[in-house]
Structure formats: C-alpha cells, structure tokens
Chain A
C-alpha cells in the first residue's frame, strides 16, 4: 500500500515565518462537561502569504483563530504555543496581549453589521485603534481613517467617515472592518468567515481588497471559511480541519488537484462544480455528523464516516505527515493525517450508502 514518511516541521515557506502555532489545544469547561475544541493544531504563517483554514461548522477553526490573540472566554483552557515573531502569546499577560491585538494581529469577523458599534461613527471606530496603539490625536486619527477608507475602496471616504454603520451596505461595512483591522499595519490579519454573510457579487470585491492588502502592504492573512470557492480564489496554502485536528495541509493547487485525506476528498466531492454534475451525477454527501468531543481519543476521529476506515484507524491517531503514494514523489508541503490516503490524483472517494 502507500508508504508514509515523516516530514520535517518546516513546510515550504514563502518568506520568514511570522506566526508559529505549535501543538495548540483548546478545551472548554461547560455545564454539560468538557468539550475539546482544538487538538494539537500546528501551523505556520510565513510573511506575505495567505493561508486558508477550511472545515465544516464545529471543526474548531474559529476557536483556533480566536485563541491566537487570546480572545477566548474564561471558560477556555489553552495549551501549546503561539509565537508571533518569537514572542510567546499563550499564557502571556493581558497587557502584553492587548498591545498585540489590533496592532500586530488584527481580526475581521463574519457579521459586519453586528461587529460594528451602532452608536459610533465608522471614523471614530477606526480612529480608536490609531489612538490607542499609535497615540494619534483625534484629528490625526480621523484624517488617517479617511485614507484607510479609500485604501479599502470606499468612495467618498471624506463623507463616509462620519457615517454610522447602519447607513452603509453590508459590503461597505466589511470594508470598514478591514480598514479598522489594517489601520496600524498588523503583521497578521485573521479573517473569520469574512464573506459568508455577504452576497456573492460583493464577496469578490472583499476578497480583492484582501489580496490587494497582501500585495501592497505585505500583510499575512489567515482566512477561515467553510467555502472552498473562497479558498480556491485567494489562498496560497490550505489547512483542512476536522473535529479540532488538522487533517491535511497543502498548497492550494495541490489540494484541489489531489487531496489525500478522505475528508478533504469528501468535501471536494460534495461541492457543486459547474458542468460536472449536469443532471447526471449526484452530489456526494459525507454521511454522519461532525462529532463534539469531550476528550480527543487516540484514533482517527473521521473513521466512523470514512469509506476507507479499518482497524488501524480506530487503534491509533494518524500523525500529520508527508504522503507518499506508490512511487510518486511526495509534493513538498503536502501533509495529511490519514492511514489510508486517497491513492491517486483522482478525487472520487468510494461511494457509500447512508
């Protein structure tokens, strides 16, 4: 069968590593028991690259993203390491984290209407970040806010700066969020489902703004989404998550060309592709539901939904490793955590009945 080789920790980096996440685990204590949301996730962001994190709802991608800057509620237990250019963030003092938030690591969220304060003008909200981190005066902050609004493509920025969020359209609000996020020139921008709440036509514009920011300012972007189309559009590398673990990691073209993990294959097969299913083939679902785990077992958590699962999958958890299929040369930087990765460039998993 396929042989698997251990990979080094360094993946193919575009630039110097800006954010290094190593063995990050997050669990929550709730009234119903403990919930393990993230299990030993490792990933690196290199300067200027756009990494996409993809997975279904509940796979832990948002939790991972929020834990980077310590934005989780008190009920969260975080272990592992998150280093921003060498500085350890896990367990750091709140005052240290506050200096990082907004200035080195910035966020944009899914729902721009509720994520902006309705009683403050957008100019004021953008200016806040500048006043806190760059110690700008109110007047200077407002002027810079106007510049930022133009930067993200909002017309009549001079007038818009005094608008309230409810006076702007959804797409414009999201651009405001982006302007607010990049105001202090952060090294990392974490975008949690930035386009999910927007119309398809508006989505493209937002993604373009993000791409521009990377090209012009060199911002590293971690984009979280469940939409494979967004990944294909904008990401350089992709990280696939399932039930709190990273199951596959690859450059974007490789992932789409030949996914190795059965879950990734299932995801791709379940996405409608124009022309492919024209009236003949059914979309293939992955049977079953994403589990909510109390503790992470030493087994593959996808096994109960996987068409290729066997005893080995239930016995021990597969490590995230370079995949070697037959005599093919392993693609640098393409890792999967699977005992039985898909054998070839084909993306069709075995058909299963629910």
Chain B
C-alpha cells in the first residue's frame, strides 16, 4: 500500500507542477503586453513599469516562474485589477460557499444515486427499474442551468417556496443558510445523481451475477446480507472511480449554479473575472481549481486502497 500511495503522490505532485506552469504561461500568452493586461485603471508608464518590476516581466521566464511559485507558497495570489483587493481575501469569502454547495450536492447525489442504483439492480425487470432508469436518463440529459431557471421561475417566484437568489452564511443563520442553498444543491446534485445511479446499477448487476454472490446465496445468507455485504461493497470500487472522475463536472456545475442563483461563491467570482478581464483573479481561480481537482483525486485513490484490500495489501489492483 505504501508503494501505491507514494506512486500516486508523486504523480499528483508532478501534475500539480505542470498545471502551475500551464497557468503561469497562460497569462503570458495573452496577446499584447502582459503588463497592460495586468494593469488596472492606472495605465501610466510609471504604473506599467511598476507592474513589470513586480511581476518580473522583464526577467527570463524561469526566474519569473520561480518568483510566481514563491509568492503562491506564501499565499499571495496577486491583487484584483477591478477592486484592488488581494485575491486571497476574495477567495476566503468565496470558497467556503462553493465548498458547502459542492459537499452537500455530492452527499445528496451519492445517497440518491447509490440508493436508486441498488434498487434498480435488485428489482431487475420490474417497473421500479424502468422508472429509475428513465429518471436517470432524463437526469443525464437535462441542462441543469435550465432546470435551475425553471425551479426559480416556478418554485421561487411563482410559489415563493424558496428564495430566488442570495446567500446567508452558515454560521450566521443556519436555517436561512439551508433555505438558500437547498435549491442550488438539488439542481447541482441531480446530474451527478443520475451518473452515480447508472454506474451503481451496472456494477451491482454484474456483482449480483458473480460467482461469489452465488456462493453467498448457497450459504443461506439473507438477501439483505447478500446485497450489502457481497454485492454492494464490491460495486463501490467502481462507483468511487467514476465519481472521482465526475468531480471536474461538479466544479463546472457549481460555477453555473452559483451564477443562476446568485450565490457569492468561487464560481461567480470566476465568471465576473472573465468578463472584467481580471487576470490575476482568473489565474488564481484556474490554478486553485486544478489544485483542488488533483488533491481530490489523490484522496479518491486513498479511499480506493481502503475499500479494496487487493490494493491495500499488495498494491496491485488486479
């Protein structure tokens, strides 16, 4: 297991480094003078010169990169062009919102998806399966921002059940917080739930027809034990893999959901930055997303080794 984790850690670190390089080069790939791009209101030659000096734009690239990394490590993501506020403090307010939204969405999607997937697999051939399958297909095909729009239209504006937009921090007012975040969570989680449901169902179907489930039945175990201990546990390996791969989609989804529901999170920050050409923010956002994704994937690999003893003991997933 140690060898497995070390290899994974090494890969993750490498990818992180490469991502940082890509992001670093991104700003430098802008057409025209990077200093202009990074300048705010003040475009006087002195201001530009100061920027050049600060970012080391007249230095060779490797040195610039080293400076960049040095600043990153200290938590300095630069300063927003539009507001002049350090990007890091923008992040401190925005990230928790997105994290809360994403976590809740994942939990919802996992609970719903696994539950529905198991149900569909166990009730093979019966109406429940067709219903679950159909719902999952629709869940996969529906544009979620559209669903969000409709939800706001009919549930918020028309019926007044939920607030149409806005956010209340968790610590200030838990109930209000929940009230604001329920609708976005459901919208965001729906797509992921559909994917999880299909993967769970297909993995369960395969597990249920496997030899070791036949053995479990031959031992006289009750159906619930057979399903949970012998089929589901083995299917989870597949499900965890797929979910890990879908997390990128979740981040994208969070961006859109925040935009529609007006949640002041990471996603909204990103979109605003793009339209305002706020490059330091864009750079920070892209890098942070990549980092988050890499770290999460590493954690998923860790989770893998917990679930599958074949990996834990020998480091070989076969």
CA distance A129 to B219 in the complex (A): 6
User: Is the C-beta of B234 less than 8 angstroms from some C-beta in chain A?
Assistant: yes
User: Is the C-beta of B309 less than 8 angstroms from some C-beta in chain A?
Assistant: yes
User: Is the C-beta of B53 less than 8 angstroms from some C-beta in chain A?
Assistant: no
B221 touches A128 (CB 8 A): yes
The smallest beta-carbon distance between B110 and chain A, in angstroms, is 19
B219 touches A102 (CB 8 A): yes
B214 touches A109 (CB 8 A): yes
User: Is the C-beta of B123 less than 8 angstroms from some C-beta in chain A?
Assistant: no
A101 touches B218 (CB 8 A): yes
A132 touches B211 (CB 8 A): no
User: Is the C-beta of A144 less than 8 angstroms from some C-beta in chain B?
Assistant: no
Contacts of A133 in B (CB 8 A): 220
The smallest beta-carbon distance between A92 and chain B, in angstroms, is 13
User: Is the C-beta of A114 less than 8 angstroms from some C-beta in chain B?
Assistant: yes
B220 touches A164 (CB 8 A): no
Q: Which of A294-341 contact B (CB under 8 A)?
A: none
Contacts of B309 in A (CB 8 A): 118-119, 121, 164, 166
User: Is the C-beta of B314 less than 8 angstroms from some C-beta in chain A?
Assistant: yes
A164 touches B310 (CB 8 A): yes
User: Is the C-beta of B3 less than 8 angstroms from some C-beta in chain A?
Assistant: no
CA distance A97 to B222 in the complex (A): 11
Contacts of B310 in A (CB 8 A): 118-119, 164, 166
A164 touches B233 (CB 8 A): no
Q: Which of A158-173 contact B (CB under 8 A)?
A: 164, 166-167
User: Is the C-beta of A84 less than 8 angstroms from some C-beta in chain B?
Assistant: no
B219 touches A117 (CB 8 A): no
B234 touches A129 (CB 8 A): no
A114 touches B210 (CB 8 A): yes
How many residues on A have C-beta within 8 angstroms of the other chain's C-beta atoms? 30
Across the interface, A103 reaches (CB within 8 A) one of B216, B217, B220, namely B220
Q: Closest residue of chain B to A180, judged by CB?
A: B219
Task: Knowing A119-B233, A180-B219 are in contact, say whether A164-B313 is a contact too (CB < 8 A).
Answer: yes
A99 touches B211 (CB 8 A): no
How many residues on B have C-beta within 8 angstroms of the other chain's C-beta atoms? 23
CA distance A304 to B197 in the complex (A): 52
Across the interface, B219 reaches (CB within 8 A) one of A97, A120, A132, A164, namely A132
A119 touches B307 (CB 8 A): yes
Q: Which of A162-189 contact B (CB under 8 A)?
A: 164, 166-167, 177, 180
CA distance A186 to B297 in the complex (A): 48
Across the interface, A101 reaches (CB within 8 A) one of B212, B219, B313, namely B219
B308 touches A109 (CB 8 A): no
Q: What string of 1s and 0s marks CB contacts (under 8 Å) between A88-128 and chain B?
A: 00000000011111110011010100111111110000001
CA distance A101 to B225 in the complex (A): 15
User: Is the C-beta of A71 less than 8 angstroms from some C-beta in chain B?
Assistant: yes
B212 touches A115 (CB 8 A): yes
Q: Closest residue of chain A to B312, judged by CB?
A: A164
A114 touches B211 (CB 8 A): yes
B308 touches A119 (CB 8 A): yes
The smallest beta-carbon distance between B8 and chain A, in angstroms, is 20
Contacts of A111 in B (CB 8 A): 211
B218 touches A116 (CB 8 A): no
CA distance A103 to B221 in the complex (A): 11
User: Is the C-beta of A69 less than 8 angstroms from some C-beta in chain B?
Assistant: yes
Contacts of B221 in A (CB 8 A): 98, 102, 128, 132
Q: Closest residue of chain B to A167, judged by CB?
A: B313
The smallest beta-carbon distance between A81 and chain B, in angstroms, is 21
User: Is the C-beta of B215 less than 8 angstroms from some C-beta in chain A?
Assistant: yes
The smallest beta-carbon distance between A187 and chain B, in angstroms, is 14
CA distance A106 to B313 in the complex (A): 30
The smallest beta-carbon distance between B183 and chain A, in angstroms, is 38
User: Is the C-beta of B229 less than 8 angstroms from some C-beta in chain A?
Assistant: yes
Q: Which of B199-233 contact A (CB under 8 A)?
A: 210-212, 214-222, 225, 229-230, 233
Contacts of B215 in A (CB 8 A): 107, 109, 115-117, 177, 180
Contacts of B218 in A (CB 8 A): 69, 71, 101-102, 106-107, 109
Q: What are 20 A-to-B residue pairs whose CB atoms are below 8 Å?
A: A99-B220, A100-B220, A101-B217, A101-B218, A102-B219, A103-B220, A107-B218, A109-B218, A111-B211, A114-B210, A114-B212, A115-B211, A117-B230, A118-B309, A119-B233, A119-B309, A128-B221, A166-B309, A166-B314, A180-B215
Q: Beyond the given A118-B310, A167-B314, could you list 20 further A-B residue pairs with CB under 8 A, ordered by the A residue number?
A: A71-B214, A98-B222, A106-B219, A114-B211, A114-B212, A115-B215, A117-B212, A118-B212, A119-B233, A119-B309, A120-B229, A120-B233, A121-B309, A129-B220, A132-B219, A132-B222, A166-B310, A166-B313, A177-B215, A180-B215
